Amino acid sequence: MPEIVAILQGNQRAGARMIRLLEQGKLEALTLLKQLYPHSGNAFIIGITGSPGVGKSTLIDDLITVFRKQSKRVAVIAVDPSSPFSGGAILGDRLRMQRHATDKNVFIRSMASRGQTGGLSRATKDAAIVMDAMGYDIILIETVGAGQGEFDIATLAHSTGIVRIPGTGDGIQAVKAGILETGDVYIVNKCDRPDVDASVHALTMMIGMQNMGRQTSHPSPKWTPPVVKTNALKGTGVDELADTFLSHFDFLKKHNLTDQTKRNQETLYFKSLLKDLTLAKIHSFMETSPAYKSVLKRIQTHEMDPISAAEHVVNTMIILK
């Protein structure tokens, strides 16, 4: 069992083992997580999302460099898709960040999505809590990047950066996909490409329109998502990007929005845990309950139809507890 003290002291071996247990879904790991939870809440969590090939990993690699120059301790969670066929995965995002591997103040953890949609894996939030408790100042989370619809990151991060590249269907499509509702910072990467200014312009316009809509529903202080141009391969624009994220964090703190964010996130986390724990109960019930087994047998001998069987089992469980 990983030691709580070692984790709080920032020991990477202990923290990594803890994350592993959480990822494996070991219930005993939750007991430990409970002890870590009060020590979390200090890190600034930044989500980086966007389609495949837009350069998310390289941007994160650059951001690590910038934040390290500011003496901040940086953790990264990089999520890659699991193969729907084998359940396995190749986790190669850290390939681009490997020069930071030996920096004791950088902790990079790759995660497979394991069938979770929404761009994260089930244990991403848990891992972020562990890293937070380990004392990392900044936690960068790279989503799967399977394309559209990776909105989960907004429920986990303080600041979500959406990475796009010039000339790839900005504008209307992005609005349709709802992608412009989740971003706090928009990043136009590979800004050495010719049509970069058109992309920036289109995005800025869309954000403007979006914000007019926002104003009516949110009378609270308004953050206008900036558009930042970067060229991750050359490292240009990354200083500015880091500053933009930090100023967004300041903005949230200044207007007491971090608390509000935290409340929302805790509710969501609670709901997702509830689902997980209920499922775990069902699984253990399925493994141990004689009632479940007898029902299963009756389905196989056609004494009972599957629908009635499921209803029966659920009712039994609720009565049981």
Of 38, 84, 88, 306, the residue at the interface with other proteins (CB under 8 A) is 88
- CA proximity to 59, closest of 244, 240, 238, 245: 238
Of 32, 33, 108, 187, the residue at the interface with other proteins (CB under 8 A) is 108
Q: Does 19 bind other proteins (CB under 8 A)?
A: yes
Q: Distance (Å, rounded) from C-alpha 148 to C-alpha 113? A: 15
Nearer to other proteins, 98 or 215 (CB): 98
Q: Please report how close the Cβ of residue 192 comes to other proteins at its closest, in angstroms.
A: 10
Beta strands in 9-50 (DSSP E): 44-49
Q: Please report how close the Cβ of residue 179 comes to other proteins at its closest, in angstroms.
A: 22
Q: Distance (Å, rounded) from C-alpha 82 to C-alpha 73? A: 29
- 158-237-113 Cα angle (round to 5): 45
The two beta strands, 159-164 and 74-80, are unpaired
Interface characters, 112-151, with other proteins (x: CB under 8 A): x-x-------------------------------------
Confirm if 165 and 189 have CB atoms less than 8 A apart: yes
Round the CA-based radius of gyration of the chain to a whole number and report it. 22
Q: Please report how close the Cβ of residue 94 comes to other proteins at its closest, in angstroms.
A: 7
Nearer to other proteins, 8 or 16 (CB): 16
The angle, 0 to 180 degrees and rounded to 10, between the axes of the packed helices 27-36 and 12-23 is 130
- 81-82-83 Cα angle (round to 5): 115
User: Binding to other proteins (CB under 8 A): which residues in 255-314?
Assistant: 276-277, 279-280, 283
User: Binding to other proteins (CB under 8 A): which residues in 26-55?
Assistant: 26-27, 30, 53
Of 85, 194, 301, 319, the residue at the interface with other proteins (CB under 8 A) is 85
Give the footprint of other proteins on this chain (CB under 8 A).
Answer: 12-13, 16-17, 19-20, 23-27, 30, 53, 58, 61, 82-83, 85-96, 98-99, 101-102, 107-110, 112, 114, 233, 276-277, 279-280, 283
